[in-house]
Structure 1
Amino acid sequence: MAAPQLDILMYHSISDAPGPTSISPQVFAAQMQALAVSGVPVVSPDAMAQPPADRAVVITFDDGFADFDTTAWPILRDHGFRPIVYLPSDLMGQSENWAGCNTPARPLMNWDRIESLATEGVCFGAHSLSHPDLTTLPADRLETEVAQSGQDISARLGQPIHHFAPPYGASSPAVRRCIAQHYTTSVGTRLGVAKAGSDLHDLPRLEMFYFTDIARWRAHLAGRGRGYLALRQTLRQLRSIVRTGKETPAPPRQ
């Protein structure tokens, strides 16, 4: 029997905007339909803190784009899937304005919609205050960006915030130590699946832009996707070496 695993799906915008952080509504709907048909259970984000008893999926969104509310949530709700959305809390109600954002900028949800979605079953996590690269910050600002974001969301929603995602997936031992002081889990952008023993403050995710081919996504859900995932991990590793001249830590064996 294969070892239990948790597939943490990573999304940003569900729209026809250009770039890898946008997935078209049609593709997203097909991905969710394939997930529903597969029988792999979609579990609460709180399951990230516990090793899965069997295979399961958590659905995550970074940045809190307005199209989560208008496009993604109706599809998820129809399937009974409960996702988590990580919010850069100082920017809600504005448009993306961080390094590497799209042009034209995509709008973010406002607090009225976030509060309403929370009552409908959407979970929310922290994604810093202003979406900086946390690894570049002095210790005092790092603490503020990490801790205050969750505190502000908690005050708005009247519930504790247990989960965090560093912007860009940028992390370091110092960043992870800071996050661990305030949150139960943290997810990054390292490509892979979480298993028993995974670092709860450096959990890997599956970037769903890599699974826009629905046949390939179905194969992954059926347990036949190890070769493709290993190839993607290797290509990421090579790109990192070319870009930085340094080898990033290898992903765990799947």
Structure 2
Amino acid sequence: MAGPVVDILMYHSISGQGGPTAIAPDAFAAQMRAIAETGVPVITLDDFCAAKIGGAVLPDRSVILTFDDGFQDFADAAWPVMKDLGFRPIVYLPTNYIGGREGWRGIAAQPRKLMGWDTIRRLQGEGVIFGSHTESHPDLDALEEAAVEAELIRSRDRIAAELGAAPLHFAPPYGIAGKATQARIAHYYRSSVGTRLASAGPASERFDLPRLEMFYFTDPARWRAHLAGRGSAYLAARRGLRAVKGAVMKPWKGVA
């Protein structure tokens, strides 16, 4: 990839619950320590967009930390590790479920608890950034245009009312956002991330940013090799396996 390489890391639950949307706390802590020890800078989506829009300079290699769904274990297990290291993550919130439990398609066997607004406000004060993950966590491409608009606007407005500022960044549930949906997102947000498995860079489309599913990088040696710039072969292999899976189970839609 020409120019700076930005790995946008995708997390969901930091717990021992198992499955591709959960990473054990000790594995997560090891991933964070590897970032700190290798010296790869942690930037924010605001930094990335400043480079895309205004020409700000990015490091040669950097990472962005993203978390979908706003699970309570973010506050309990993930944030203390990142706070100690000085990292600023973003958490995408499905606003209808705040303070309750996940209730959307593809939920875990034991539905996980989401943070409440009081916790979210406390974390915002400590440096955590929050974005929108819609209102009700639907497949946006399956909705009529008016329903898509409602999901984008109502989630944005609820976060603004609770946190005092409108969110600038968005993550579509399941990573599903076709071109028409991306165009609607662009009316209300500064960026949108998906589940396409790749690193981002200067040429990446701002409303279809790729991410690395960190379930694939729980092996410490493999993760450190990737941070050192030696992970392209493994990433290509994972993309190939995902393509095969998609051919068998059409369409593969990610787990966001």
Which interval holds the TM-score relative to the shorter structure? over 0.9
Corresponding residue for residue 38 of structure 1: 38
User: In 2, are the aligned partners of 1:88 and 1:130 still within 8 Å (CA)?
Assistant: yes
Describe how 1:205-244 pairs up with structure 2 within 5 A: 205-244=211-250
RMSD: 1.5
Deviation at 1:206, TM superposition (A): 0.5
The superposition leaves residues 229-253 of structure 1 with CA deviations (integer Å, 9 ceiling, x where unpaired) of 1111111112111222x799xxxxx
How many residues align structurally? 247
Deviation at 1:45, TM superposition (A): 2.4
2:109 alignment partner, one of 103, 107, 125:
103
Matching residue's letter, 2:48: M
Secondary structure of the corresponding residue to residue 181 of structure 1: helix
Q: TM-score, normalised by structure 1?
A: 0.94
**Counterpart Cα distance in 2 of 1:204 and 1:216:** 19
Matching residue's letter, 2:7: D
Corresponding residue for residue 161 of structure 1: 167
Corresponding residue for residue 24 of structure 1: 24
Corresponding residue for residue 252 of structure 1: none
User: In 2, are the aligned partners of 1:135 and 1:171 still within 8 Å (CA)?
Assistant: yes
**Counterpart Cα distance in 2 of 1:160 and 1:144:** 15
**Counterpart Cα distance in 2 of 1:63 and 1:36:** 25
Deviation at 1:151, TM superposition (A): 1.5
2:158 matched to 1:128?
A: no
**Counterpart Cα distance in 1 of 2:47 and 2:101:** 31
User: In 1, are the aligned partners of 2:6 and 2:62 still within 8 Å (CA)?
Assistant: yes
2:54 matched to 1:48?
A: no
User: In 1, are the aligned partners of 2:10 and 2:214 still within 8 Å (CA)?
Assistant: yes
The superposition leaves residues 136-181 of structure 1 with CA deviations (integer Å, 9 ceiling, x where unpaired) of 0011111010122112101111123110000000111111011011
2:112 matched to 1:88?
A: no
2:78 alignment partner, one of 72, 90, 93:
72
Matching residue's letter, 1:142: V
Matching residue's letter, 1:114: I
1:196 alignment partner, one of 182, 193, 202:
202
Q: TM-score, normalised by structure 2?
A: 0.93
> 5+ unaligned residues in a row in structure 2: which ranges?
53-57
Secondary structure of the corresponding residue to residue 73 of structure 1: helix
User: In 2, are the aligned partners of 1:61 and 1:85 still within 8 Å (CA)?
Assistant: yes
**Counterpart Cα distance in 1 of 2:227 and 2:252:** 30
> 5+ unaligned residues in a row in structure 1: which ranges?
249-254
Deviation at 1:3, TM superposition (A): 2.6
The superposition leaves residues 39-63 of structure 1 with CA deviations (integer Å, 9 ceiling, x where unpaired) of 1100122123124342111000000
